Structure 1
Amino acid sequence: MKTWTMKIFPPEYVTKEKGHGRIEVRKIRVSTALNDYVTFPYVAQVCRIERMTYKLDGELLRQEVAYGITSIPPEKADAKRLLSLNRGHWCIENRLHWVRDVTFDEDRSQIRTGQGPRAMATLRNLAISLFRLHNMNNIAQALRSFGRNPERALQLVGL
């Protein structure tokens, strides 16, 4: 028996990757059938993404389902492209948060009140963005270099 998601969404696109001691399976179903029912500006497609992580022996570790809305029309992004865009989004998010957590040791920050935490997060994001804008992708190395030579930091921002 088919569920309602199978009726609304056409056949799925599936990726399977093995690495880091696990197997990750991602499935996406994309449809325009719900566009008239979604009160979201410029909706062109909706999607259902299912992610499953297995141990190498096949034991299910985690399973999650997410729904998405996009303004990208089907002729510009099929299911494969939308899944790739979704993965790219999380790659960017994870890359930023990893740098903030590990390189800046943000989780151990003592700044916890008022606007301090937001201000420091903004300054950290600014530093990361400036480094990457100038092709300095090793943020830890860039921090050490600028820490030894603060005048370079001023030059980086044009002062």
Structure 2
Amino acid sequence: RLKDAPACPGLKAIGRVEALRTTADGKTTTSVRYIALSKVLTPNKLAETVRAHWTIENQLHWSLDVVFHEDDARTRKDYAPQNLAVIRRLAQNILAAHPLDKPIASKMRRANWSKDFFYELFTHMR
């Protein structure tokens, strides 16, 4: 037990993950991350959990950046950045939920071109 450690209800373990990254030019870097855990995991389960988290995280942010140009947003005042982030995620979820087997970017373009498809995005969820 650490002296003067802050209370962390539910904290069961701290995981240490060491990641190696090799760039296209052959340069390798190492990073170390510490992760708060609500249960004790085996090293294999921790690695699997971390990979799953970053897979989901990268897919979400890639889509938000590529489709919605989130990284280009220059909104900085008051609550506007948070509000627009919520709207972008809502739009992403609506587009992803539509059964048409096309990428989100294609569905968004189609919704811009067709008022009927735009309305269909919302009405198919009933």
TM over 0.5: yes
Partner residue of 1:18? none
CA distance in 1, matches of 2:75, 2:81: 6
TM-score normalised to structure 2 length: 0.75
Cα RMSD, aligned residues only: 2.9
CA deviation after TM superposition for structure 1 residue 58, in Å: 6.0
Q: 1:99 aligns with which of 50, 63, 67?
A: 63
Q: Which residues of 2 match residues 24-103 of structure 1 at below 5 A?
A: 39-55=7-23, 59-60=27-28, 62-74=29-41, 78-103=42-67
CA distance in 2, matches of 1:56, 1:98: 20
Q: Which amino acid aligns with 2:77?
A: T
Structure 2 unaligned regions, length at least 5: none
Partner residue of 2:104? 139
Q: Which structure: greater helix fraction? A: 2
Q: Which amino acid aligns with 2:115?
A: P
Q: 1:125 aligns with which of 56, 70, 89?
A: 89
CA deviation after TM superposition for structure 1 residue 132, in Å: 2.0
CA deviation after TM superposition for structure 1 residue 56, in Å: 7.2
CA deviation after TM superposition for structure 1 residue 38, in Å: 7.5
Query: Contact (CA 8 Å) 1:131, 1:139: kept in 2 or not?
Result: yes
CA deviation after TM superposition for structure 1 residue 80, in Å: 1.0
Q: Which amino acid aligns with 1:49?
A: V
Q: Which amino acid aligns with 1:103?
A: V
Q: Which amino acid aligns with 1:70?
A: L
TM-score normalised to structure 1 length: 0.62
Q: Percent identity?
A: 29
Task: Report the count of equivalent residues.
Answer: 121
Q: Does 1:112 align with 2:76?
A: yes
CA pair 44-137 structure 1, distance change in 2 beyond 3 A: farther
Q: Which structure: greater strand fraction? A: 1
Query: Contact (CA 8 Å) 1:47, 1:67: kept in 2 or not?
Result: yes
Q: Which secondary structure state, in structure 2, belongs to the residue aligned with residue 46 of structure 1? A: strand
CA pair 141-99 structure 1, distance change in 2 beyond 3 A: same
CA pair 69-112 structure 1, distance change in 2 beyond 3 A: closer
